[in-house]
Amino acid sequence: MTEPVAANDVTETTQAATKAAVFAAAERLFALHGFQNVSVRDITAEAGVNLASVNYHFGSKDALLFEIFKRRTSELNRERARMLHEANDRHQGKPPVREILAALFTPPLKWASPDNDRRISVQFIIRSRSEGTAEMRDALVNDVSHLARFADALIAARPDLPREIVYWRLHFCLGMVHNNRFAEFDRLHVLSDGATREGDTEALLKRMLDFAEAGFLA
C-alpha cells in the first residue's frame, strides 16, 4: 500500500506470472501422471519457480489441486449451460434430446481436440473423478445443480419415459464422456488396428450423438 504504483504493478505482475506458472505446470503434471504421483518438487521444477511457491501462493498442495479443480469444472459447467440455454432459445424452451446431449458432449470434446490448449484440462477433470481428494469428491457428488438442468431438459423432451429411466440414461451418457481418456483412446487404437482416429473431433461428436440419441429414444 505504501509502494509507488509502478512498483506495485511490476510486483503484482511478477506474482501473477509465478502463480500462473505454478497453476499451469501443476495441471499438466497432474493430468498426465496422476495426483499422487506428482510432488510439489516436480511442479515447481516444471514451472521454473521456487519450491516454496506452492505453499506461498496456494497454501498447500491439496489447496492448489482444489483450485485447479474448481476453476476448470466451473468453466466447463458454464460452457455447457450456455449451449443448453442456446438450444432452449432455438426451440421455444423444449429442445430435442439430440440438442441437449450436444450441449453436454460438445464442450469437453472441443476442449480435448489435439490443437486445443484446454486438452490437458479435460484429462485433469476426468482424472479428478476417480483420484480426487475427499473435498473434491464431496463437491462432485453434492453439487449437481448444473446436471439437474440437463436432467430436467431431458425429462421435458421425453415426458413419456419414467423419470428414473432418464436419470440412468444420463448416467450412461456421462460414462461415455468420462471414458475419453488418453489410455482408453490408445487401447481402442490398438484394438481397431488403427481404424479409429481420435483426432477428428467433429466425427467423434457425431458418433457419440448418434449412439446416445438412439439409446435415449429406445
Partner DNA sequence: GTCTATAGATGGATAGAC
Partner DNA sequence: GTCTATCCATCTATAGAC
Contact 29, 42 (CB under 8 A): yes
Smaller CB separation from a second copy, 54 or 170: 170
Tell which positions 51-90 bind a second copy, by CB under 8 A: none
Give me the residue label for grid cell 506461498: 56
Rounded to whole angstroms, the Cα distance separating 74 from 68 reads 10
Determine, following the binding rule CB under 7 A, whether residue 158 of this chain makes contact with DNA.
Answer: no
Determine, following the binding rule CB under 8 A, whether residue 36 of this chain makes contact with a second copy.
Answer: yes
| CA neighbor of 147 nearest in space, from 99, 67, 84 | 84
| CA neighbor of 200 nearest in space, from 213, 185, 184, 210 | 185
Tell which positions 9-48 bind DNA, by CB under 7 A: 11, 14-15, 18, 38-42
Determine, following the binding rule CB under 8 A, whether residue 96 of this chain makes contact with a second copy.
Answer: no
Rounded to whole angstroms, the Cα distance separating 215 from 74 reads 28
Determine, following the binding rule CB under 8 A, whether residue 28 of this chain makes contact with a second copy.
Answer: no
Alpha carbons within 13 A on the beta-carbon side of 51? 2
Determine, following the binding rule CB under 7 A, whether residue 52 of this chain makes contact with DNA.
Answer: yes
Smaller CB separation from DNA, 61 or 146: 61
Determine, following the binding rule CB under 8 A, whether residue 129 of this chain makes contact with a second copy.
Answer: yes
Percentages of the chain per state (helix, strand, coil), in multiples of 5? 75, 0, 25
Indicate which of a second copy, DNA, none lies near residue 96 (CB less than 5 to 8 Å, by partner kind): none
Backbone angles phi, psi at 109, to 5 degrees: -70, -45
Determine, following the binding rule CB under 8 A, whether residue 216 of this chain makes contact with a second copy.
Answer: yes
Indicate which of DNA, a second copy, none lies near residue 184 (CB less than 5 to 8 Å, by partner kind): a second copy
Q: How far is the CB of 204 from a second copy (least distance, A)?
A: 7
Rounded to whole angstroms, the Cα distance separating 158 from 162 reads 9
Q: Return residues touching DNA (CB under 7 A).
A: 11, 14-15, 18, 38-42, 49-57, 60-62
